[in-house]
Amino acid sequence: MEREQDLISMEAAPTLAAAFHERVLRTPDALAYRDYRDGRWRDFTWRETEQTVALWQDRMRDDGLRTGDRIAILCGNSWDWVVCDQAAQGLGLVTVPVYTNDRADNIAWILRDAGARWLLVQNARQWEALAPIHETLAKLKRIVVLEPVTSDLDNLVVAHDWLAPARCEAPPPEYRRIDADPDDLATIVYTSGTTGRPKGVMLSHRNILWNIQAALKVIPVYPDDLLLSFLPLSHTFERTAGYYLPIVCGASVAFCRGIPQLADDLRELAPTLMISVPRIFERVYGRILEKVEAGSRLQRALFHKAVAVGWQRFEMQQKRAAWTPWLLLHPLLDLLVGRRIRARLGGRLRFTVCGGAALNEDVARLFIGLGVPILQGYGMTETSPVIAANRLDDNLPSSVGRPLPGVEVSLGDQDELLTRSPSVMLGYWNNPEATARIIDREGWLHTGDKVAIDNEGHIHITGRLKEIIVLSNGEKVPPGDMENAIVLDELVDQVMVIGEGRPYLTALVVPSAEALRRFAEKRHLDPANQALFDDEEFCSELLHHIEARTHDFPGYARIRQIALVPQPWTPDNGLVTPTLKLRRERILDQCHEQAERLYAGH
Kindly report, residue by residue over 97-111, the tens digit of the pLDDT.
Answer: 998 988 898 899 999
| DSSP result, 15-67 | SHHHHHHHHHHH-TTSEEEEEEETTEEEEEEHHHHHHHHHHHHHHHHHTT--T
426 within a domain of the structure (yes/no)? yes
Q: Are residues 484 and 456 in the same domain?
A: no
Residue 195, pLDDT > 60, answer: no
Nearest CA-CA partner of 19 in 295, 222, 209 = 209
Q: Are residues 170 and 297 in the same domain?
A: no
Helix (H, G, I), strand (E, B) or coil at 152: coil
For 477-523, write each residue's pLDDT tens digit. Answer: 778 878 988 998 888 999 999 998 888 899 999 998 888 888 888 87
Do the Cβ atoms of 83 and 60 come closer than 8 Å? Answer: no
- Domain final residue, candidates 447, 462, 477: 462
Q: What's the domain count of the chain?
A: 3
Q: Are residues 315 and 381 in the same domain?
A: yes
Q: How many residues does the chain have?
A: 602
Who's near 435: CB < 8 A, 6+ residues apart? 427, 428
Residue 338, pLDDT > 90, answer: yes
CATH code for the domain in which residue 331 is found? 3.40.50.12780
User: Could you tell me the pLDDT band of residue 282, with boundaries at 50, 70 and 90?
Assistant: confident
- Domain final residue, candidates 423, 442, 462: 462
Strand order in the sheet with 416-420: 408-411, 416-420, 445-453, 459-464
Q: Are residues 400 and 520 in the same domain?
A: no
Who's near 364: CB < 8 A, 6+ residues apart? 281, 374, 376, 397
Q: What is the pLDDT of residue 194?
A: 46
Sign of CA dihedral 493, 385, 111, 50: negative
- Domain extent at residue 553: 469-598
Burial 345-373 (b: 16+ CB within 10 A, else e): bbeebebbbbbbbbbbeebbbbbbbbbbb
Model pTM score: 0.85
Percentage of the chain beyond pLDDT 70 is 97
Q: Are residues 290 and 405 in the same domain?
A: yes
Alpha carbon 560 to its chain's center? 32
Nearest CA-CA partner of 352 in 337, 338, 367, 365 = 367
352 within a domain of the structure (yes/no)? yes
Q: Are residues 496 and 386 in the same domain?
A: no
Q: Are residues 426 and 387 in the same domain?
A: yes
Q: Are residues 324 and 429 in the same domain?
A: yes
Cα angle: 434, vertex 438, 444; to 5 degrees:
145
259 within a domain of the structure (yes/no)? no
Do the Cβ atoms of 147 and 124 come closer than 8 Å? Answer: yes
Q: Are residues 47 and 176 in the same domain?
A: yes
351 within a domain of the structure (yes/no)? yes
CATH code for the domain in which residue 497 is found? 3.30.300.30
198 within a domain of the structure (yes/no)? no
Do the Cβ atoms of 216 and 245 come closer than 8 Å? Answer: yes
Q: Are residues 477 and 452 in the same domain?
A: no
397 within a domain of the structure (yes/no)? yes
For 210-249, write each residue's pLDDT tens digit. Answer: 999 999 999 999 999 999 999 999 989 999 999 999 999 9
CATH code for the domain in which residue 134 is found? 3.40.50.980
Q: Are residues 490 and 423 in the same domain?
A: no
359 within a domain of the structure (yes/no)? yes
321 within a domain of the structure (yes/no)? yes
User: Could you tell me the pLDDT band of residue 192, with boundaries at 50, 70 and 90?
Assistant: low
- Domain final residue, candidates 125, 153, 180: 180
Q: What is the pLDDT of residue 430?
A: 95
Residue 524, pLDDT > 90, answer: no
Q: Are residues 444 and 492 in the same domain?
A: no
**Mean pLDDT value of segment 525-539:** 76
